[in-house]
Amino acid sequence: MLSLIKTSIPPKEVLMPRLEQVLYSGYVAQGEVVEQFERKFEEFIGGGHTLSLNSGTAALHIALILAGVKEGDEVISTALTAEPTNVAIKMVGAKVRWADVDIKTGNISAKAIEKVINSKTKAIIVVDYAGIPVDVKGIQEISEKYNVPVIEDAAHALGAKYNGRKTGCHFPFTVYSFQAIKHLTTVDGGALQILDRDLYEKGKLIRWFGLDKKLTRMENNISIQGYKYHMNNVNATIGLIQLEGIDELIQKYIDNGKYLDEQLKGIPGVELIEYYENTEPSYWLYTLKVDHREKFIEKMANHGIMASELHKRNDLHTFLNDFPAHLPNLDLFYDRMVHIPCGWWVTKEDCDKMITLIKSGW
């Protein structure tokens, strides 16, 4: 079965010597290797300050705290995402307010965000779903108009671009996941890209119990709530090795995605995703809309190819559905949405097989 998602691990002869070096160095906790990873990740992104963490969920949690979201506040978000995006909102005691998606992309709509902003709105979470960049310009305009900070969940979108600049450069906070199946994995982990230096320094305190690691324990005075959210030297070592080949790896996703974009045009029963002007997806998944989705998935499976909608709509989770909303665009989009493989493990022959199968109908 050609899998929809797959973990990329460096070759044994590259990975293991450097892992052994750190494992037997006598220091496996957060240290100099973590610092090195953060600085290298900043270079890759091309802007902001990297706060490495033990998960993308921790990054979302800290971003919400730094954005000033408190108990009883509201955060506007999308129901088309993995659950951690919205579970994190509940972690700060806030409530989730749904905004509808853009029918052309599946991403949260700037117009829909504006319709649900109110006096309790303290942040907006946008998701570059499946590696497709959001409407950066439209959302920036809403953020500035209402003075509400934006948190970009780019867990699927490492290397995606707007106006030639990568995710991480466009909003105050950008969240990355380095969980097992993402473009870059540290086995598990995440990062928060923060544009403001002072907020970055505050984030470092929140990451580690409220303690300042530049001071001794006896010199410290905890003044804010902190957590045990740090990355360690072992995960950071894996991350450093992954960064050495990340451009080539992401390019494999992009090459496959662009090829599918070109070859799947004009097929009856298939509607391709439209991308916003001046955006470049990183194609963590290849997303399309099809008629009779269950039959499509069945046909692909019968020919050894995994296809799936992958994520459950978050508004179907009772815990997350604080304000049940009519989301007509999401209804239409979700009923036809499906993902097919396009990652680093997918060959041109695999792509051609999928294209032939789709062209033959289902």
The reply to whether 216 and 142 lie within a common domain is yes
Q: What are phi and psi of 239, to 5 degrees?
A: -65, -40
CATH number of domain containing 278: 3.90.1150.10
Q: What are phi and psi of 248, to 5 degrees?
A: -65, -40
CA 20/CA 36 separation, integer angstroms? 18
Just list the catalytic residues: 182
Q: What is the pTM of this model?
A: 0.96
Q: Please report whether residue 29 resides in a domain.
A: yes
Position 90 scores a pLDDT of 98
DSSP tag of 314: G
Q: Please report whether residue 2 resides in a domain.
A: no
Query: What does the pLDDT look like over 252-292, one tens digit per residue?
Result: 999 999 999 999 999 999 999 999 999 999 999 999 999 99
CATH number of domain containing 34: 3.40.640.10
CA 160/CA 158 separation, integer angstroms? 6
Task: State the burial class of residue 236 (Cβ atoms within 10 Å of its Cβ: 0-12, 13-18, 19+).
Answer: buried
The reply to whether 186 and 59 lie within a common domain is yes
DSSP string, 125-190: EEE-GGG----HHHHHHHHHHHT--EEEE-TT-TT-EETTEETTSSSSEEEEE--TTSSS--SS-E
The residue ranges of the chain whose pLDDT is under 50 are none
Position 195 scores a pLDDT of 98
The reply to whether 273 and 213 lie within a common domain is no
Give residues with Cβ within 8 angstroms of 334, minimum separation 6: 80, 309, 313
Terminal-to-terminal C-alpha distance of the chain: 18
Q: Please report whether residue 61 resides in a domain.
A: yes
The reply to whether 105 and 204 lie within a common domain is yes
Query: What does the pLDDT look like over 113-157, one tens digit per residue?
Result: 999 999 999 999 999 999 999 999 999 999 999 999 999 999 999
Boundary of a domain, candidates 177, 212, 242: 242
Tokens representing residue 360 in the block: 């033959």
Q: Please report whether residue 6 resides in a domain.
A: no
CA 189/CA 57 separation, integer angstroms? 9
CA 295/CA 291 separation, integer angstroms? 9
Position 23 scores a pLDDT of 97
Q: Please report whether residue 7 resides in a domain.
A: no
Our count of domains for the chain comes to 2
Instruction: Tell me which residue range forms the domain holding 356.
Output: 246-360
The reply to whether 339 and 202 lie within a common domain is no
The reply to whether 21 and 120 lie within a common domain is yes
Q: Please report whether residue 168 resides in a domain.
A: yes
Boundary of a domain, candidates 226, 242, 258: 242
Position 104 scores a pLDDT of 97
Position 265 scores a pLDDT of 97
CA 328/CA 334 separation, integer angstroms? 10
The reply to whether 44 and 120 lie within a common domain is yes
Boundary of a domain, candidates 182, 209, 242: 242
Long-range CB contacts for residues 325-331, cutoff 8 Å, separation at least 24: 325/97, 325/98, 325/100, 325/116, 327/79, 327/98, 327/100, 327/101, 328/100, 329/100, 329/101, 329/102, 329/103, 329/109, 329/112, 330/79, 330/80, 330/100, 330/101
The reply to whether 229 and 263 lie within a common domain is no
Position 83 scores a pLDDT of 98
In the sheet with 165-166, reading across from the earlier edge strand, the strands are 165-166, 161-162, 279-280
The reply to whether 139 and 264 lie within a common domain is no
The reply to whether 257 and 212 lie within a common domain is no
The reply to whether 88 and 52 lie within a common domain is yes
In the sheet with 173-177, reading across from the earlier edge strand, the strands are 49-53, 190-194, 173-177, 150-153, 121-127, 74-77, 95-98
Instruction: List helix spans (H) across the chain.
Output: 12-23, 32-45, 56-66, 84-91, 110-116, 136-146, 197-207, 233-244, 246-263, 293-302, 328-336, 348-359
Return the number of other C-beta atoms located less than 10 Å from residue 168's C-beta. Answer: 29
CA 253/CA 282 separation, integer angstroms? 7
Position 131 scores a pLDDT of 98
Q: Please report whether residue 111 resides in a domain.
A: yes
The reply to whether 292 and 206 lie within a common domain is no
Q: Please report whether residue 139 resides in a domain.
A: yes
Rg (CA), the chain: 21
